[in-house]
Amino acid sequence: MSETVSVIEASKKKSIITVSHLCKQYGAVAAVDDVTFSINEGEIFGIIGPNGAGKTTMVECISGLRIPDSGSVAIYDLNPKNERENLRKFVGVQLQMSALPPRIKVSEALNLFASFYSNPLDPQELMETLGLTKKRNATFKKLSGGQKQRLSIALALIGNPKIAILDELTTGLDPDARRETWELIESIRDRGVTVILVTHYMDEAERLCDRVALINQGKLVALDTPAALAAKEGGGIHMQFAPSHPVDDKLLAVLPGVTAVHHRGTRVMVDGSGDITTQVLYELLKADITVKDVQVKSSNLEDAFVKLTQTKGKTLKTQEAQR
Amino acid sequence: MSVKDATPKEASSPFWELLKVQGKLALREPMGLVFGIALPLILLLIFGNIPTFNEPIEGNSFTLFKLYIPILMVTVLIFIGLFGLPIPLLRDREIGWLRRISTTPISPTKLLAAQTVIYLILAAVGYTIVMAGSILIFGVELAFNISGFILALVLATLAMFSLGLLITAVAPSQSTGNGITMALLYPLLFFAGVYVPIQVLPSGLQTAALFTPVGAAVNALNSSMNGSFPSFVSLAVMAAYAAVFGFVAIRYFRWE
């Protein structure tokens, strides 16, 4: 793809959305509680968190659909609170749980939305890209879940936005449709669109997002790349194997990076971080121990997610400056 | 990615596109169409073919069928005001379509306006079917008081469309909207005189009917189609309903 160039350009990390001390209260519940972060141009920024964590409220404040109680949002120096009109011209929004009239046709919906913008994409080409051309004359209610979702994404993109906000876009899709949708999101990013992706699927965030913000109970709990979060918070690497002779725990426990050694039956389990696999195998080789059935599992975002969302009340404020 | 910017062609106006889409949707969603146009047409054909409807009423020069012409026109309005106009809007709000529109540079007010225009056109088609059918198929002779007729028709339309928008505004969901509509349907049909013409009701009920938007509409249309200017009361009642319903609808309208 020739658009790789734009990815490289995007990695210059120009911040275009700044959220500072954002608060939004529903009755006694703080849906968003003093959240601060910024989003760089051209990245896929994930907002993850358990159901009801305040993710949707947060992006609704960013897109100007809701007015925050306090704090501020700036998008290219525009404030969504009083410059909604301007903002809507270059922010495409795909809302959670938003359907189209059942009898509207795919091409009609796209042509309609195209007429709302001054410099829209060509509906024909967008349908082609999203694999909707064959369904152009199908009504919304006749579309499959994946097709509905693709149409919904198409409506968010038809206005040729600089920023696309996509809320829970693969919920309810089958595995094939999810993969298709992911590829689509990556291709959007490759065109230079900044994507804000709200999701509660960790595999999705891990696969797509350049950085993720983990929200729990309205608070920002962590902000980093998925890999860094997984390594830092997910508990590192778990390795296990069946040795040919009993292994002295001390032999392995002293290795740099190893945090624990346990046994289950004849199997040995080693926890740690960094390059422990090579070191453990090398050490065993030196001790003339051969191993069978080696399994290595590195922690993923889901491990980090579970750990961070279960430590209630503990807020790890990852400073932007760290990055 | 093969998506490029569209070559600038003549920009089609968002409102025109909304009109086209809402128009197509109205034709595909049979409720408004069936009740607003097919039903009066069928009633027209049935009533027109009942022999007694075409005989002069005792002591009068007009037939029962002629009495039913304004009633059928108001029936068109009842079905459009209660079903065609509000129900799709309630659905569009419930499924998040209006909210979705509100994330674009276009205000959902434009969708509301387009929907209103489409159903105004359908109402006009309904009136035309009833009047043209009576005159051309059944040879009814109408003596129009033109200014009175236009005024009566405009006010009747305003009052019933305002009612439709009021239902859209106050009903929290499509199902409560349906409930409100069903609760209003039979009283409105009754006071319009669909079951029995108002003229044969006891005088108390006749007076009550005149103070409903539909009774006033039938009364005003009936006068104007018999050569006289509608009574002040009938016009004032319709204007008052239009103003009150319209005001409340605008005041309490919700987009989500």
Dmax (CA) for chain B in angstroms is: 81
Task: Inform me whether the pLDDT recorded for B37 exceeds 80.
Answer: no
Q: What is the pLDDT of residues B165-185, one digit of tens each?
A: 999 999 999 999 999 999 999
Q: What is the pLDDT of residues B218-233, one digit of tens each?
A: 999 999 999 999 999 9
SS (H, E, C) A265-305: CCEEEEEECCCHHHHHHHHHHHCCCCEEEEEEEECCHHHHH
Look at residue B181 and tell me if it is in a domain: yes
- Whether B21 sits inside 8 A of A139 (CB atoms) is no
- Whether B24 sits inside 8 A of A108 (CB atoms) is yes
Based on its alpha-carbon atoms, the radius of gyration of chain A, rounded to whole angstroms, reads: 23
pLDDT-derived band at B47, boundaries 50, 70, 90: confident
Using the structure block, give the residue that is written with the tokens 């997910």. A234
Cβ distance B143 to B229 under 8 Å? no
Look at residue B72 and tell me if it is in a domain: yes
Q: Which residues contact A187 (CB under 8 A, 6 or more apart)?
A: A129, B1
Cβ distance A124 to A96 under 8 Å? no
pLDDT at position B78: 94
pLDDT at position B112: 92
User: Using CB atoms, which residue from B5, B11, B96 is nearest to A99?
Assistant: B96
At residue A13, the 3 state secondary structure works out as coil
% of chain B beyond a pLDDT of 70: 92
At residue A254, the 3 state secondary structure works out as coil
Look at residue B127 and tell me if it is in a domain: yes
pLDDT at position A320: 34
CA distance linking residue A186 with residue A182, whole number of Å:
6
Q: What is the number of structural domains in chain B?
A: 1
Q: Among residues A49, A74, A44, which one has the least CA distance to residue A62?
A: A74
Cβ distance B149 to B136 under 8 Å? no
CA distance linking residue A251 with residue A281, whole number of Å:
11
**From first to last of its 323 residues, what are the pLDDT tens digits of chain A?**
444 444 444 455 789 999 999 999 888 888 899 999 999 999 999 999 888 888 889 998 988 888 899 998 999 888 887 888 888 999 999 887 789 999 999 999 999 999 999 999 999 988 988 889 999 999 999 998 888 888 998 999 999 999 999 988 877 778 887 888 888 888 888 888 999 999 888 889 999 999 999 999 889 988 999 888 887 776 678 888 888 888 888 888 888 888 888 888 888 888 887 778 888 888 888 888 888 888 888 777 887 888 888 754 444 443 333 33
pLDDT at position B93: 93
Task: Inform me whether the pLDDT recorded for B86 exceeds 90.
Answer: yes
Look at residue B55 and tell me if it is in a domain: no
Look at residue B96 and tell me if it is in a domain: yes
Look at residue B3 and tell me if it is in a domain: no
Task: Inform me whether the pLDDT recorded for B101 exceeds 70.
Answer: yes
Show contacts of B133-139: CB within 8 Å, 24+ apart: B133/B41, B133/B44, B133/B45, B133/B48, B134/B44, B134/B48, B134/B65, B134/B66, B134/B69, B137/B44, B137/B45, B137/B48, B138/B48, B138/B54, B138/B65
Strand partners, A30: A25
pLDDT at position A212: 93
Which chain B positions have a beta carbon within 8 Å of A117's beta carbon?
104-105
For B110, which residue in chain A has the nearest alpha carbon?
A116
Which chain B positions have a beta carbon within 8 Å of A114's beta carbon?
6
Which chain B positions have a beta carbon within 8 Å of A100's beta carbon?
95, 97, 100
For B21, which residue in chain A has the nearest alpha carbon?
A108
Asked whether the CA dihedral A44, A50, A53, A54 is positive or negative, the reply is: positive
pLDDT at position B197: 87
**Is A115 within 8 Å of chain B by CB?**
yes
Look at residue B184 and tell me if it is in a domain: yes
Highest mean pLDDT among A296-300, B7-11, B82-86, B198-202: B82-86
pLDDT-derived band at B14, boundaries 50, 70, 90: very high
pLDDT-derived band at B40, boundaries 50, 70, 90: confident
| Domain encompassing residue B168 | 15-50+61-252
Cβ distance A64 to A118 under 8 Å? no
- Whether B1 sits inside 8 A of A129 (CB atoms) is yes
pLDDT at position B220: 96
pTM of structure: 0.80
pLDDT at position A1: 42
In the predicted model, what is the mean pLDDT of chain B?
88
Q: What is the pLDDT of residues B104-145, one digit of tens each?
A: 999 889 999 999 999 999 999 999 989 998 888 888 888 899
The predicted complex's ipTM stands at 0.86
Which chain A positions have a beta carbon within 8 Å of B26's beta carbon?
none
Q: Among residues A140, A136, A116, which one has the least CA distance to residue A126?
A: A136
CA distance linking residue A228 with residue B116, whole number of Å:
55
Q: Which residues contact B147 (CB under 8 A, 6 or more apart)?
A: B229
CA distance linking residue B179 with residue B185, whole number of Å:
10
- Whether B105 sits inside 8 A of A88 (CB atoms) is yes
Look at residue B5 and tell me if it is in a domain: no
The beta strand positions in chain B, using DSSP E, are none
